[in-house]
Chains A and B, each alone.
Chain A
Amino acid sequence: MGSRSTPRFRFTSRERPGTSERPRARNDQLLTVGMFIIPGAIIYTLFLIIPIIQAAYYSLFDWNGLGPVSDFFALGNYQRAIEHSVFQSSVVNSLIITSLSLLIQLPLAMTLALMVGRKLPGRSIFRSIFFMPYVFSEIITAIIWTFVYNPGGGLLNTVLGTLIPGYVPQGWLANRDIALVAVFFVITWKYFGLHMILYMAGLQSINTEIEEAARIDGASELQVIRYMTLPLLAPTIRLTIYLSVLGSLNQFVLIWILTSGGPANATQVMATYMYRFGIKSFNLGFGSAVAVLIFVISLIFSVGYQRAVMRRDYAGTV
């Protein structure tokens, strides 16, 4: 490596006679690589990579974000977070949201993708409706659902009051026992369409003749789905599990606007905890430590999952 500190092209036309038809100007290309990478690299490094590294550095200090960064605190911030019962329950809540997403949101998306299927009349209308909330901002979504869950005359209470005689209006987001589920429902409302779209795309790439052959051999529709369709969709399923876990661990804006982590921390997740105890209470050193903890959890999951599960999907592509 030492003698090749400047990047060089691996195959020049002279080394590889097979590629010599391409009359490329090699020195030009080296320049092109540099010129093309630099604009993106500068912005990406300055505003993504360096901030993340800095977060790891600041997390070692007791720093309010205004004065000098001087009170070295070693791993004190990490210890404080890990020992804080609210942080512990926020990790649990994040894991609950993740599990609910995997157990409810993904199967729901899959069921709908199979139902809307490849040939149901009106499929594009249903697809458009189910996917629509994906484009709304979290802010708009949260405001609308604040009204839906309104304890007085909110939409949900009005609808349930009409359907169920003797119904007592609920404060959906004010009740410790149901607030997290109510929040999860909004997350599902907004995001299940994304997974449905991914499944539909996967379904379209499946060769229908294989399933047809199974049907002719006498397989029932459920058997076809269980033994043919789902295994063929496995790469898409693995991808959606990955996106769903990372998305759930990183839930923030919706929950913060809906409940700010309340009532009594019942909907506190890792990111809302970071905002509440890091930024709002002017403790950027501590907030950085929490941010690093969230990154590390995401990173461990991501690397482990890709190693264990997704490697074969990319085997041919890289």
Chain B
Amino acid sequence: MSASMTKPFNRRMPPLRFVIARAGQYLVLIALALIILGPIVTAVLGGLKTTGELYSEPFGLPAIPRWENYTGIIASDTFWRQLGNSLIIVFGTVTLTVSSSALLAFVFSRLVFRGRELIFNFFTLGLLFPVTIAFLPVFIQVRQFSLIDSYFGVILPLVAFGIPGSTLILRGFFRAIPSELEDAAYIDGCGTLGFFWYVLLPLARPALGAIVVLQTIVSWNEYFLPLLVLTDDSKWPLTLGIMQFQGQFGTDWGRVMAFVSLLIVPAVLFYIVTQRYIVTGLTGGELKG
């Protein structure tokens, strides 16, 4: 290359040090991405393999895809029943958590009354007791209410433990809505209820979406509460189902991975679609710090 050609070209090129730093950055990021994705990809491909193939060729495509690993699961009533049970628990938990927390957050963000902060602090106490730890006391209470083997025995505790975080997040968003809008709504003849329903809730849609998504994840993934509360296995959700399946076919990793894939592929799709809401919920509002 002649000097006259490289000179202007060089000026637009970033300095060599920068290029090396960037390349190093990508190298580290790609290596870490492989550590994250490796086990997931192995699991999804593994659903089509025999255990021997999984051991010897974890990343390769199987010579003969073993679709029967999947069809065996999909053809059984158990899988679909457990899917239905999971959906019932998710639907109940999400509906009740979102509606009760939205009402609470509204009271704690837009209404002024004596003892407001005290009551709000009472509701945030629950943040210290995650359901993953408190399931023993909760189980005793559920039993006292004779809710054993009832979906509500799982749903109501999940709602109770979802309320503190959801209320905190929603309150942050509700407070960010300018009070001029509130004044305008009142001048236009809206009552408190009207303002809540017609102005606040529509404006807080991203925050409500975040709560819906986060509570969906929590209730879909819950394991120990249903394990203790639901003794009747016809009411079991998929988390219990997969553990039972693994107990049965533990050494047949191909089949187990097929079951894992049937849960993980929808989870990834759900994640891709709802990622925006998850990030809003986790980083927006009060948590921004």
Q: Determine whether A152 belongs to the interface, using a CB cutoff of 8 Å to chain B.
A: yes
Give A317 to B167 CA distance when docked, in angstroms. Answer: 15
Partner of B103, one of A28, A36, A139: A36
Do residues A52 and B163 form an inter-chain contact, with CB atoms below 8 A? no
Partner of B270, one of A129, A135, A274, A288: A135
Total of A-B residue pairs, C-beta within 8 Å: 266
Partner of A50, one of B35, B42, B141, B191: B141
CB distance from A294 to the nearest CB of B (A): 6
Which residues of chain A from 276 to 302 have a CB within 8 Å of any chain B CB?
278-279, 284, 287-288, 291, 294-295, 298-299, 302
Given known A-B contacts A36-B104, A46-B156, A7 and B141 have beta carbons under 8 A apart: no
Closest to A204 in B: B283
Closest to A114 in B: B25
Given known A-B contacts A128-B272, A155-B39, A7 and B107 have beta carbons under 8 A apart: no
Q: Determine whether B231 belongs to the interface, using a CB cutoff of 8 Å to chain A.
A: no
Q: Determine whether B211 belongs to the interface, using a CB cutoff of 8 Å to chain A.
A: no
Q: Determine whether B203 belongs to the interface, using a CB cutoff of 8 Å to chain A.
A: no
Which residues of chain A from 251 to 309 have a CB within 8 Å of any chain B CB?
252-253, 257, 271, 274-275, 278-279, 284, 287-288, 291, 294-295, 298-299, 302
Residues of A within 8 A of B19 (CB): none
User: 1/0 per residue A29-56: CB within 8 Å of B?
Assistant: 1101101110111011011111110110
Which residues of chain B from 254 to 289 have a CB within 8 Å of any chain A CB?
256-257, 260, 263-264, 267-268, 270-272, 275, 278-279, 282-284, 286-289
Do residues A37 and B112 form an inter-chain contact, with CB atoms below 8 A? no
Residues of A within 8 A of B107 (CB): 32-33, 36-37
Do residues A198 and B283 form an inter-chain contact, with CB atoms below 8 A? yes
Do residues A284 and B140 form an inter-chain contact, with CB atoms below 8 A? yes
Do residues A152 and B55 form an inter-chain contact, with CB atoms below 8 A? yes
Q: Determine whether A147 belongs to the interface, using a CB cutoff of 8 Å to chain B.
A: yes
Give A131 to B192 CA distance when docked, in angstroms. Answer: 39
Which residues of chain B from 138 to 196 have a CB within 8 Å of any chain A CB?
138, 140-142, 145, 156-157, 159-161, 163-164, 167, 182-183, 186-187, 191-193
CB distance from B210 to the nearest CB of A (A): 13
Partner of B267, one of A130, A135, A287: A135
Q: Determine whether B85 belongs to the interface, using a CB cutoff of 8 Å to chain A.
A: no
Do residues B223 and A295 form an inter-chain contact, with CB atoms below 8 A? no
Do residues B242 and A139 form an inter-chain contact, with CB atoms below 8 A? yes
Q: Determine whether B202 belongs to the interface, using a CB cutoff of 8 Å to chain A.
A: no
For A49, A115, A132, A288, the residue with the greatest tally of chain B CB atoms inside 10 Å of its CB is: A132
Residues of B within 8 A of A287 (CB): 136
Do residues B223 and A138 form an inter-chain contact, with CB atoms below 8 A? yes
Residues of A within 8 A of B236 (CB): none
**Stretch binding the partner chain, chosen from A18-26, A83-91, A209-217:** A18-26
Q: Determine whether A177 belongs to the interface, using a CB cutoff of 8 Å to chain B.
A: no
**Stretch binding the partner chain, chosen from A8-16, A70-78, A97-105, A223-231:** A8-16
The 8 closest A-B pairs by CB, nearest first: A153-B55, A137-B221, A201-B283, A47-B160, A40-B100, A51-B137, A55-B137, A36-B103
Given contacts A129-B37, A194-B282, A279-B136, 11 further A-B contacts (CB under 8 A): A4-B114, A43-B96, A47-B157, A58-B137, A126-B33, A137-B221, A140-B263, A198-B283, A201-B284, A278-B136, A299-B128
* A interface residue numbers (CB < 8 A to B): 4, 7-11, 21-25, 28-30, 32-33, 35-37, 39-41, 43-44, 46-52, 54-55, 58, 65, 112, 115-116, 120, 126, 128-140, 143-145, 147-148, 150, 152-155, 158-159, 189, 194, 197-198, 200-202, 205, 235-236, 238-239, 246, 250, 252-253, 257, 271, 274-275, 278-279, 284, 287-288, 291, 294-295, 298-299, 302, 313, 317-318
20 interchain pairs, CB-CB under 8 A: A7-B113, A9-B112, A22-B182, A24-B186, A37-B103, A40-B100, A43-B163, A44-B126, A52-B129, A55-B137, A58-B137, A112-B29, A130-B32, A137-B220, A137-B267, A139-B242, A143-B242, A271-B132, A278-B136, A279-B228
